[in-house]
Structure 1
Amino acid sequence: MSDPRHDDKSVFPDPVYKDTVLRPLFDGAKTHHVEAFGAIDRAHLVMLVETGILDAAQGHDIAVALRGIASEVDPTTLVYTGAVEDYFFLIEQHLKARLGPDLAGRLHTARSRNDIDHTLFKLGLKARLDVLLAKARALYDVLVATAERDKAVLIVAYTHGQPAQPSTFGHYLGAMIEVLGRDIDRLQQAYGIVDQSPMGAAAITTSGFPIDRERVAELLGFAAPLQNSYSCIAAVDYITATYGAIELLFLHLGRPIQDLQVWSSFEVGQLYVPNALVQISSIMPQKRNPVPIEHLRLLSSQTFGRARAMLDVMHNTPFTDMNDSEGETQAMGYQAFDSAYRVLDLLAAVMGQVRIDPARVATNIRRSCITITELADSLVRQEGLSFRQGHEIAAAVARAVVAMDGDLPVDGFAPFITAFAQAVGRPSRIDATRFAELVSPEHFVAVRTRFGGPGPAPMAAALESYRQRSAGFAAWAAAHATAQAQATAELNSRFDALVGAA
């Protein structure tokens, strides 16, 4: 039998492989990673000259060639032909045309496509996380402002889909704010994992050349080099941390978005969505459709699904450099960012404009008797009863008021007097005026002054903590933006010096 290795006359690339794999990868690189490719080339070149691996003349010639390629080659016009394997080799081909193969090839000293690729992907994620975090912080600030505005505005709070107790819109939003704050924490922690440079790992084990990994990390704006070189090319926790945080963010946002849908329904109606955010039916002129809320829900689900898909792709992959975590997967993940941006922008716009309808809230409170828990509590405090006995009296009052479709503060006093006397064997010391006060929603909220409650004092403390949290998020962002700007300026300065050196 003949040896197929000797008989193989095929030429790379196979046309089908070119069209199904290489062309999409090339198009993805020219779309998403051109700037990062250029930054990596410049930073690596500066380091090679600073460490003496290349001399100043070599560095100058390569720098001039890189600048020429950047100014003369428009990536958007490039069409993949199969003449080179990928975008990396296209740039190397241009370098060879300008410098010859010997000098052009020296730029690749002590590096590999392995460490280059993961550095590209991390730079891409850092830039997108910067945008995502900025939009999440903007939503956070809108929620805080709306909570401040509506800290005393009554709502019906629901459990198990049924009216439960009165609270305030500000208190409800405080719950959203705290979850969003923890989600921002997770995004910042993911950023910290991404913010470690793989450059210098080369293929797997670093290099025998005296490279300076710290310097390349500094020039590219990373916080530090990732220590273990095998981890640089094998670990995908920077991917899973990022998309895991995104997945949780949009899982969590989807829940209050669902409440917005219910609250703005005709039957509940406690949330008023302004005309600017409402579409009218094409056939039913009476209908006000808060369609943006539907888009928030579906886009949140799409973002969640795209982020989850990234985790699924990473599952049960080998602990090594592999295509599963690279170009096409990265491009797929960027779609999660695209829909995430839309949700955060739209939700911030919605939450800044919606209002609570006080008339509908009052009607729903009246119909549901949701202040009755405070009557039971008050009987404990003012009549010396056990909570269970107070609860039974309150339950009897609620049943009577609901049966007559009455108003608890007005129509509940007579059933209360009867139920109290039957249960306790004496008349209550609470008169009609006091009874009406005890079962009012305003009183219900006002007496809930414990830490974390909707009363004025705990709400004021909570709002102050949210403002401080926002300031902390802003300081984190400012520090990272400053560090990145300084790194970019340093890289540009050192590269310009190479170009200018003669």
Structure 2
Amino acid sequence: MEKFPHPVYKETVLAPLFEGVKAHYVPAFRAINRAHLVMLAETGILGADDSRRIAAALVDIDRTVDVAALTYTGEVEDYFFLVEAELKKRLGPDLAGMLHTARSRNDMDHTVFKLTLKRHADAMIDKAQALAAAMIDKAAAERDTLIVAYTHGQPAQPSTFGHYLSAAVEVLLRDIERLQAARANIDHCPMGAAAITTSGFPIDRQRMSDLLGFAGPLRNSYGCIASVDYTTGFYAAIKLVFLHLGRFIQDLQFWSAFEVGQLHVPGSLVQISSIMPQKRNPVPIEHLRHLASMTAGRADAIVNTMHNTPFTDMNDSEGEVQSAGYAAFESGARVLDLLAALIAAVSIDGARVAKNIDAACITVTELADTLVRREGLSFRQAHEIAADTARAVIAAGTPLGAGHAAFARAFRERTGRDSALDEPAFAEAVSARHFVALRERFGGPGPKAMDEALAAYRAALTALSDRQAADAARTAEARAALDAAFDALLQE
């Protein structure tokens, strides 16, 4: 009979899996071993002396076995069996095997993956919150900074940079909520499910969950080893974050183009062409765009790997797939850090904005609204007069603010009478600053509406941060409780 493992299987599957454990999972395995031993001792499944000897052996393994320096040889199947082999060296096969009472590789693996995924999730949520804070601060600083807002790639209406950023902030805050909701679905402990159906031993699943820092045990034992929605749910949430940020990043690229030019990127974030000395290339924006797309794609790869897999314990959701997913956290973290730095550094070119506003006549909507309010016209008739005025000044190459004569002529032709709007009143009606100041409705760009919105964003971010801090505190308390309970075993 050929000896396990086949050399090709060893090199193509087992060795990479072993390296994955070395890189990602050793702390989680150690925590599970210690927590399970504590639970076995507290429930009386293991006696005090046996528990103490196993605890001492685990400490010795951690002290003497340099996992990072290990090379996979095939002598044991994987890291789990490596620890069991080390226990046998110190305790003999009978006592060493007692640690595995009432547990399986199935519930252990998904607990390992959840512990590790929670750690990555927390880091990403923290960075997303830092980006949200940077964007809110920038929106507050740029509350009154005029910009041209675009629809369908064309100049549409004046707004402010603060108002535009606030729209992106709202999406990001919702994305952080989705991340936290997905993280909450990770936060249920599979330990105690064993292979499928729990155990005939009087195990305490709640105690295991508490010691490992979970919010509670996952109820259905089959679901503990079969339901991978904790993975698909979080990676789906990741994808949405970077899909949405990618749209925002694309606008920054468009705004910084020479022909638009309303966004100025400072020299610290600009590279110069190797052959064209006049070119200022804001390439960090391009890196943000492709890194956001890569992150979304990496998240998609994990979700899609689960497609058409059986509803059972399976390798498709385990070590190699889980490890591959962590690349999404790496590239995603780079996006969140770089985008926060970029947002803090950029500014709006006010002169270019004013020029584009004049060239595109984007304040004529307010001229039409003013005619409805002050002249008693229908909006359709007012719209036609405003359109006539815009066409006339664009043809003459003059700013809209200097187009009172064209307006008066259009008004007379459409209504058969003269308008009550004199030149100063007309100039105010088509002023971009006036346009924004009037729009104080809930969610608008007016100063009062923006102040209310910014306060709401800060309150929402504080609530999200408080929730995250509570999870972090519970994790730290669980770690301390596990350390204390495990140390107590050593003293018995």
Question: Is the TM-score greater than 0.5?
Answer: yes
Query: How big is the shift at 1:161?
Result: 0.3
Correspondence for 1:261 among 247, 253, 258: 253
Q: What CA distance in whole angstroms lies between the structure 1 residues aligned with 2:258 and 2:369?
A: 33
- The 2-side partners of 1:261 and 1:464 are apart by 29
In structure 1, distance between residues paired with 2:177 and 2:469? 15
Q: Does 2:95 align with 1:93?
A: no
> Residue 74 of structure 2 aligns to a residue in which SS?
coil
Residue aligning to 1:44: 36
SS of the equivalent of 1:13 reads coil
Counterpart mapping for 1:302-321 below 5 A: 302-321=294-313
1:127 shift after superposition: 0.2
Separation in 2 of the partners of 1:57 and 1:282?
72
Q: Per-residue displacement from partner, 1:89-142 (whole Å, max 9, x unpaired)? A: 001000000100000000000000000000000001100011000000000000
Instruction: Tell me which residue corresponds to 2:451.
Output: 460
Residue 434 (structure 1) aligned with residue 462 (structure 2)? no
Aligned to 1:485: 476
**Alignment of structure 1 residues 362-377 onto 2, 5 Å:** 362-377=354-369
Aligned-pair distance for 1:384? 0.1
Structure 2 equivalent of residue 79 of structure 1: 71
2:393 is matched with 401
1:39, 1:342 → 2: CA distance? 29
Structure 1 partner of 2:131: 139
**Superposition deviation, residue 473 in structure 1:** 1.3
**Which residue type is aligned with residue 209 of structure 1?**
F
Structure 1 counterpart of 2:80, which letter?
Answer: F
> 2:243 maps to what in 1?
251
Match for residue 495 of structure 1? 486
Q: Following TM superposition, by how much is the alpha carbon of 1:457 offset from its aligned partner in structure 2, in angstroms?
A: 1.1
Unpaired segments ≥5 residues, structure 2? none
The Cα of 1:280 is off from its aligned counterpart by: 1.0
- Mapped to 1, the partners of 2:182 and 2:60 lie a distance apart of 36
Gaps of 5+ in 1: 1-8
**Aligned residue runs from structure 1 range 82-481, under 5 A:** 82-410=74-402, 412-481=403-472
Query: Counterpart of 2:175 in 1: which secondary structure?
Result: helix
TM-score normalized by structure 1?
0.98
RMSD of aligned alpha carbons: 0.6
Aligned-partner Cα distance in 2 for 1:108–1:35: 18
Counterpart-to-counterpart distance in 2, 1:380 and 1:284: 52
- The one-letter code of the counterpart of 2:276 is M
**What is the CA-CA distance between 1:286 and the residue it aligns to?**
1.3
Paired AA for residue 57 in structure 1:
D
What is the alpha-carbon distance in structure 2 between the residues aligned to residue 32 and residue 199 of structure 1?
19
The amino acid of 1:488's aligned partner reads R
- Using the size of structure 2 for normalisation, the TM-score is 0.99
Aligned counterparts of 1:173 and 1:74: Cα–Cα separation in 2: 49
1:4 maps to none
The code of the aligned residue for 1:27 comes to E
Q: Deviations over 1:474-498 (max 9, x none)?
A: 1111111110110000000011111
Q: 1:404: Cα distance to partner?
A: 1.4
The offset of 1:315, in angstroms, is 0.7
In structure 2, C-alpha distance between the alignment counterparts of 1:342 and 1:71, rounded to whole Å: 35
> What secondary structure, in the 3-state scheme, does the structure 2 residue paired with 1:166 have?
strand
* Identical amino acids, percent of aligned pairs: 64
**In the aligned structure 2, how far is the partner of 1:446 from the partner of 1:264?**
26
> Runs ≥4 in structure 1, deviation > 6 angstroms?
none
Aligned length: 492
User: How far apart, CA to CA, are the structure 2 residues paired with 1:351 and 1:59?
Assistant: 55
Pairwise CA distance, 1:369: 0.4
Quick one: distance in 1 between partners of 2:175 and 2:27?
A: 29
Hey, what's the Cα distance between the residues in 2 that align with 1:405 and 1:316? Answer: 62
Post-superposition Cα deviations, 1:244-270, rounded to whole Å, max 9, x if no partner, equal: 000000000000100000101111110
Deviation string 1:442-490 (CA, Å, 9 cap, x unpaired) is 0100111111000111101000001101110111111111101100000
Superposition deviation, residue 285 in structure 1: 1.4
What is the rounded CA distance, in whole Å, between the counterparts of 1:264 and 1:71 in structure 2?
56
Question: What does residue 5 of structure 1 align with?
Answer: none
Question: Alignment partner of 1:453: what SS?
Answer: coil
Give yes or no for the alignment of 1:31 onto 2:47: no
Distance, in Å, in 1 between the alignment partners of 2:350 and 2:26 is: 54
Measured in 1, the distance between the counterparts of 2:39 and 2:192 equals 11
Whole-angstrom distance in 2 between the partners of 1:402 and 1:458: 32
Tell me the distance in 2 between the aligned counterparts of 1:405 and 1:345: 44
